[in-house]
Amino acid sequence: IDEREIGLLEAVGAGVGMVVENARLYRQARRLAVLEERERIGMDLHDGIIQSIYAVGLVLEYIRLTVNEDPEQAGQRLEQAIQSMNTVIGDIRSYILDLQPSRIQIDDLSQALDRLANEFEANTLVDVELKAEPEALELLERRTATELFHIAQEALANTAKHAYATQVLLSVRTTGSGILLQVIDNGQGFDVEKEPSTLGHGLSNMTERARQVGGQLEIDSSPGEGTTVTVRLPVDQLSQRTQSKPVP
């Protein structure tokens, strides 16, 4: 074999090596994409459908405790539970069809938060005050609004499960550095350092959702002092609309 043939073989070998490496990278990318999609679906199910089912469970528990004393009120709550479950069924169908659930398609965050607050109040009998600044909402693109909605949904679910609160404030407002989402309850609180498991998977989900839109999640709580969940979204992470509408 002369040098010319050796060079040709080396070139062929290098080409085959590149093909093999590209195939390996492609398989790796596909595996990562599958894992990311699985994680996304898991987060959406946990923060959306599972929380909705839990809320229906709260209503049914209330009915069980009050049906003998106040059958009429129990009947009304049962109708509410049926309506909520029908909504959940619709969301599950949407997932099966590989669509986003209707309540997660956040084109109007103000309307979505209002519905969320009303459902939470009806399901838990906890007073909810909603303060959503129009100026803040206008700065949010759809994906960011969707993630903030999910974070608020998870924070309220944790309040229902653990806080024993009587009042909750849900707010979205502008600050000097960006936008602030807060869910504040007057419940029993907990030691964030000693009891991180209190929030379970919800904490990691909220943290990841905030990170995906360039925000930062903070949990402030102590025993007997209630809990505050805060998402700080810097102005440079907002949509292009911020270029023409400066944040106060």
Cβ contact 115:132 at 8 Å: no
Mean pLDDT computed over every residue of the chain: 82
19-60 pLDDT per residue, tens:
777 787 778 777 776 677 677 677 777 667 777 888 888 888
Structural domain boundaries in the chain: 1-105, 123-248
∠ CA(156), CA(235), CA(227), 5° rounding?
25
Task: Name the nearest CA neighbour of 190 among 228, 135, 160.
Answer: 228
Between 99-103, 130-134, 162-166, the lowest mean confidence (pLDDT) is in 99-103
CATH placement of domain 123-248: 3.30.565.10
Residue 121 CB partners (closer than 8 Å, separation 6+): 127, 128
> How many residues does this entry show for the chain?
248
CB 229 within 8 A of CB 217: yes
